[in-house]
């Protein structure tokens, strides 16, 4: 019998890097293009005060080609993000196997991650200039679900008492906590600067709002990039239909590395 044909073989580290680079490169391209070629338009404010940076909505959704660049990057990264959501559900469920009362956290993290991803797709394709109420609701839901997902993801390892984290997992968790704290702090700062700008229309305040927004986005991308460490030994295989091998036990969606934990 001939050996199975492996049609695709990809290290998960590659998937993690590409999934993070798609939104990151799209985001940076939109910001720099806006500043270089449409500075006056993207930095204009409703009260005409001095401003040096565009808000994210202005940079990615109000003008072309930025709108198309951002939509393409987010659209391409959505499917791998959903795949990673499924992987994390299994990962956290296995981690919590000895603490049944916390098992629901694995599902909670999964659904928060899915909602975050779907809302990101929604607010990307419905810009603030096209339908502000819908865009605003999706943005708020995205922010809340993203921050809650960060919180749950950092909380799960602390209640999985019988699971010993590897050195790489400890590094991942430490980075997650740092990014979560930074995200919460900058989200509060962004809210403060946004309200202050609308109340007082002071020069430069909207610039600080935009900068806080940027940091929140970069922290979000970095947080999801920690999957690079959590699944560093995983690989994605796509084989011929007649493939039937025990090798798949350690494939991307069939990880049983916790079985002996």
Q: Which residue has the higher pLDDT, 18 or 127?
A: 18
Picking from 85, 33, 52, the residue whose alpha carbon sits closest to that of residue 224 is 85
Q: How far apart are CA 110 and CA 253, in angstroms?
A: 14
The number of domains in the chain is 1
Q: Is residue 117 part of a domain?
A: yes
Q: What is the pTM of this model?
A: 0.87
> Is 250 contained in some domain?
no
Look at residue 161 and tell me if it is in a domain: yes
What is the pLDDT at residue 163?
72
Q: Which domain holds residue 146?
A: 6-234
Determine, yes or no, domain membership for 124. yes
Domain annotation covers residue 241? no
pLDDT band, residue 25 (cuts 50/70/90): very high
CB distance 159 to 96 below 8 Å: yes
pLDDT tens sequence across 89-103:
999 999 998 888 899
- What does the pLDDT look like over 184-230, one tens digit per residue? 999 999 999 999 999 999 999 999 999 999 999 999 999 999 999 99
pLDDT tens figures, 229-260 = 999 888 877 776 664 545 554 555 555 444 33
CA distances from 236 to 12, 46, 78, 185, 256 (A): 7, 49, 17, 36, 14
Residue 255 belongs to some domain of the structure: no
Instruction: Kindly write down the DSSP assignment for every residue of 137-181, as one continuous string.
Output: HHHHHHHHHHHHHHHHHHHHHHH-TTPPPPHHHHHHHHHHHHHHH
Residue 200 placed within a domain? yes
Strand locations in the chain (E): 6-11, 235-239
């Amino acid at each position: 019998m001939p050996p199975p044909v492996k049609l695709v073989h990809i290290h998960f580290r590659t998937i993690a890097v590409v999934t993070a680079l798609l939104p990151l490169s799209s985001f940076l391209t939109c910001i720099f293009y806006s500043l270089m070629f449409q500075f006056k338009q993207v930095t204009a404010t409703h009260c005409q005060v001095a401003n040096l940076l565009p808000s994210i909505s202005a940079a990615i959704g109000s003008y072309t080609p930025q709108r198309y660049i951002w939509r393409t990057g987010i659209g391409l990264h959505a499917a791998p993000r959903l795949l990673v959501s499924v992987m994390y559900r299994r990962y956290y469920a296995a981690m919590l196997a000895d603490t049944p009362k916390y098992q629901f956290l694995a599902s909670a993290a999964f659904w928060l991650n899915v909602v975050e991803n779907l809302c990101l797709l929604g607010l990307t394709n419905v810009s603030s200039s096209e339908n502000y109420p819908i865009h605003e609701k999706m943005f708020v839901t995205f922010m809340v679900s993203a921050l809650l997902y960060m919180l749950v993801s950092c909380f799960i390892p602390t209640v999985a008492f019988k699971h010993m984290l590897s050195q790489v997992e400890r590094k991942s968790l430490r980075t997650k906590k740092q990014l979560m704290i930074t995200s919460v702090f900058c989200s509060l700062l962004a809210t403060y600067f946004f309200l202050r700008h609308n109340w007082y229309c002071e020069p430069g305040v909207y610039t600080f709002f935009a900068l806080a927004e940027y940091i929140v986005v970069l922290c979000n991308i970095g947080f999801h990039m920690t999957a690079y460490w959590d699944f560093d030994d995983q690989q994605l295989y796509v084989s011929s239909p007649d493939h039937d091998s025990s090798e798949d036990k350690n494939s991307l969606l069939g990880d049983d590395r916790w079985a002996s934990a």
